[in-house]
Structure 1
Amino acid sequence: MWSDLKNKVILVTGAGAGIGNALVKQLAAAGATVIAVARNQEQLNALVASDAEHIKPLLVDLSDWSAVRVSLGAVPELDGLVNNAGVAIIKPFAQLSEQDFDTQFNVNIKAVFNVTQALLPKLRNGSSIVNVSSLAASRSFAGHTAYSATKAALDSLTKSLALELAERKIRVNSVNPTVVLTRMSIENWSDPAVSGPLLARIPLKRFGEVHEVVDAIGYLLSSKSSFVNGHHINLEGGYSVS
């Protein structure tokens, strides 16, 4: 699967940390040229230091519509796009502010729309788009009201684009994990009182690992998934069937 991506050109947003960071490194190790998009210069510098030959940094704040358009104008032709950047503000519904709402919608769906539309002329026929969504798009979790709404919108965008872009043989899919053990998630879910009820609903009795999401994205980017289009791949250890 990974060898299939050698010499491909792939852009990844949210490359500074977590899933995006691990994905960039894995793609680079496979011999792909990766345009790593993040808003933190230090994180980008660290990525480039790990593999300057394959990782090309792009500093941009995805919440800035105009800046995204200008920055992406210099991007070369692409074989793949991974819309990974996201924001999660987990609060009870009554405590969510207008800023909380806007921040999540601006990054989780508006920025995906903007980035994808801006890059359409750059995407080669036969390329693949992967959106990093969440199980929260289709299941309810306490404190996730606004976040879940953004991911439901992202799933809808995924299906619509899969239909519209099919004539160019551009496939569009999403990966929809539950809790993935990034550094931030480990901190948020380390309390058994918080994690216990969710783990009890997962037949495999554990949360996802970063490499499991990265591998799913790699599959969707590769030709191994050449007939997979418009799908949401739930990565949740069987939560949905429990």
Structure 2
Amino acid sequence: MKNIIITGTSRGIGLELALKFAQNGHRVLALSRKVSHKLLGHPNITCLQADISVAGDLEEISDFLQSSWKHADALIHNAGALVSKPFAELTFQDFENMYKVNVFAVAMLTQKVLPFLQNGSHVVTISSMGGIQGSMKFPGLTAYSSSKGAVITLSEVLAEEYKAQGISFNTLAIGSVQTEMLAEAFPGYLAPLSAYEMADYIYDFTLNGNKYYNGKVLQVSSTTP
């Protein structure tokens, strides 16, 4: 049994990940601003209603780990925000909100969880193909794609900083998956992969990927977008 922390578990990939880990006997700390009724009542899932971009909520997560789990085996940064509008219409607040959730919250939550990670632990960040240098880019996703690029570099640096402790950091830059967020960015587009199918891949990678990779960015995409 592993202790797995997952953010953004109210819907989509995060929800499917929480269920898959729990159904396979692992303990899950599910973090989201809204709690899905599908997770409530499962003996292996603890739901914390938390906004990881808020300092007070991060303290509650740390308090739970200190009082209950004592250690964590994996942290999956899955939560994300998206704004789609022409660059000329983006406001300072648009950029601030995007980076607050997609970058700063990832960094700050990692700080809170690090004292509970041990040799062999794995931190997996879910990024996007839009954040990969040289990949196809799409109008309207300036703030989103640039934030996803920033979090890739963050993970690479942390892998170097914590390799002596045996804590691995890897990023999965995923392509199109049929989620609510994809529908917001590309209305009417149908992705070839479901949230359940992508969760299946991330599940295996979280448990085994750090045996082969550290500080890497893996492109998990069959189509673009």
TM-score, with structure 1 as normaliser: 0.83
Distance 2:186 2:125 in 1: 24
Q: Out of 161, 166, 170, which is 1:169 matched to? A: 166
Moved more, 70-79 or 182-191: 182-191
CA distance in structure 2 between the partners assigned to 1:87 and 1:103 by the alignment: 8
Aligned to 1:102: 96
| Structure 1 gap segments, 5+ residues each | 1-6, 200-205
* Structure 1 equivalent of residue 60 of structure 2: 70
Q: Which residue number corresponds to residue 220 of structure 1?
A: 205
Higher-Rg structure is 1
Q: Deviations over 1:142-174 (max 9, x none)?
A: 111111111111000111111111111111111
Partners of 2:86 and 2:192 lie apart in 1 by 23
Matched, 1:46 2:46: no
Q: Corresponding residue for 2:19?
A: 25
- Judge which range, 228-237 or 106-115, deviates more: 228-237
Aligned residue for 1:131? 125
Query: Distance in 2 between the 1:131 and 1:186 partners?
Result: 21
Q: Which amino acid aligns with 1:210?
A: A
**What residue in structure 2 maps to residue 4 of structure 1?**
none
CA distance in 2 between counterparts of 1:59 and 1:235 reads 29
Contact 2:175–2:223 (CA under 8 A) maintained in structure 1 = no
SS in 2 for 1:48: coil
Q: What is the CA–CA distance in structure 2 between the aligned matches of 1:186 and 1:142, rounded to whole Å?
A: 15
Residue 132 to residue 25, structure 1, CA distance change in 2 (3 Å): same
Structure 2 segments unaligned to the other structure (5+ residues): none
The range that moved more, 207-216 or 80-89, is 207-216
Cα distance change, pair 164–187 in 1 and its aligned pair in 2 (3 A): closer
Question: When you count strand as a share of all residues, which structure comes out higher?
Answer: 2
Structure 2 counterpart of 1:228, which letter?
Answer: Y
Does 1:149 find its partner at 2:184?
A: no
The two structures have a TM-score, normalised by structure 2, of 0.89
Q: 1:93 aligns with which of 84, 87, 95?
A: 87
Instruction: Look up the equivalent residue of 1:10 and give its one-letter code.
Output: I
Identity of aligned residues (%): 32
- Separation in structure 2 between the aligned mates of residue 118 and residue 210 of structure 1, nearest angstrom: 28
Q: 1:229 to 1:212 in 2, by over 3 A?
A: farther
**Residue by residue, what CA displacement relative to the aligned partner does 1:27-83 show, whole Å, maximum 9, x if unpaired?**
011110000001114x2x43123x2x1011111111212331233222121000001
1:232 to partner: Cα distance: 1.4
- Secondary structure in structure 1 of the residue aligned to 2:124: strand
Shift in alpha-carbon separation, 1:181–1:239, aligned structure 2, 3 A: closer
SS of the aligned residue for 1:46 comes to coil
Give how far 1:239 is off.
Answer: 4.9
